[in-house]
């Protein structure tokens, strides 16, 4: 029943329209309710996708316009004035659907964009981690019972990285581990999820790639999908990735 009441407030919460007291209560509820947290993640990803789609502009090619005008016979100049915008809109929608449906590069870019969103959301949060600790022996057991897999953390002694803590992260309504690290003045996130068929196109990636102002490295290992993201250098992301990869392979 409590979840049903909170779900009525999902939109207002994500849009920042809840009163401060209600927002704090909702935030506290999310810490103990994976179902509502997953709904929040899905709602946020939908908003991001709609916003991103709204920034894209599509225009039909000159060849497509010529074909349409030829088929219509250009019955009258007046008719063309009002019918062309409608046809252009339809053509743009068709191009958009085809573009969004292309496999490979665009699905990979969409996944990376979601990873960046998760990282940015954590940085913008007043409570970026659920368990605050620099001790891997505290953070690792915190995930036990919350995830269907073990989270193995690297020993960061004599490295430029410091573990800040961990939290539950959600992608495609699937729970995973979100780990936050500090390197000098930069913060990096590592996300670990059970691997999904939709991420098959990411398997060949082995080097950090840049998305917007962030570097991301991803790999598949032991049935899990790993992402490391940060606004630091590619070498910094690669170094943290290697440490996490080594910890995963050693257990």
Which residue in this structure is represented by tokens 């290992």? Answer: 221
pLDDT in tens, 101-160: 444 446 788 888 899 989 988 888 888 899 999 999 999 999 999 999 999 999 999 999
Predicted confidence band of residue 24 (pLDDT cuts 50, 70, 90): confident
Residue 223, pLDDT > 80, answer yes
In the chain, how many domains are there?
3
Determine the Cα–Cα distance for residues 6 and 91; give it in Å rounded to an integer: 41
CA angle 129, 133, 137 (to 5 degrees): 120
Strands in 104-236 per DSSP E: 131-132, 161-171, 174-183, 186-194, 209-211, 214-221, 224-230
Are 182 and 126 members of one domain? yes
Confidence of residue 56 (pLDDT cuts 50, 70, 90): very low
Contact 173, 155 (CB under 8 A): no
DSSP H helical ranges for the chain: 2-7, 10-14, 20-32, 34-55, 62-72, 77-101, 105-124, 136-142, 234-249
229, 205: one domain: yes
**Residue 82 shares a structural domain with residue 125:** no
Span between the terminal Cα atoms of the chain, in Å: 41
* 96 and 183, same domain (yes or no): no
Domain that holds residue 164: 105-249
**116 and 22 housed in the same domain:** no
Q: What pTM value is reported for the model?
A: 0.60
Domain at 172, CATH number: 3.30.200.100
């Amino acid at each position: 029943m409590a979840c049903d009441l909170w779900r009525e407030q999902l939109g207002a919460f994500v849009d920042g329209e809840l009163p401060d007291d209600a927002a704090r209560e909702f935030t506290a509820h999310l810490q103990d309710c994976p179902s509502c947290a997953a709904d929040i993640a899905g709602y946020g990803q939908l908003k991001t996708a709609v916003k991103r789609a709204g920034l894209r502009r599509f225009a039909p090619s000159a060849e497509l316009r010529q074909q349409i005008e030829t088929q219509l016979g250009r019955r009258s100049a007046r008719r063309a004035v009002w019918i062309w915008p409608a046809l252009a809109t339809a053509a743009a929608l068709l191009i958009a659907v085809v573009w969004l449906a292309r496999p490979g590069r665009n699905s990979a870019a969409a996944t990376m964009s979601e990873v960046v969103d998760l990282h940015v959301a954590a940085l913008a949060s007043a409570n970026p981690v659920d368990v605050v600790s620099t001790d891997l022996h505290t953070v690792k057991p915190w995930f036990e019972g919350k995830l269907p897999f073990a989270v193995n953390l690297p020993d960061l002694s004599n490295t430029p990285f410091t573990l800040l803590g961990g939290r539950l992260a959600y992608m495609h309504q699937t729970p995973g581990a979100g780990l936050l690290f500090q390197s000098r003045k930069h913060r990096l996130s590592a996300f670990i999820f059970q691997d999904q068929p939709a991420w098959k196109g990411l398997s060949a990636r082995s080097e950090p790639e840049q998305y917007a102002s962030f570097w991301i490295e991803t790999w598949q290992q032991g049935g899990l999908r790993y992402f490391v993201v940060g606004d630091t250098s590619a070498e910094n992301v690669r170094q943290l990735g290697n440490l996490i990869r080594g910890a995963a392979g050693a257990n």
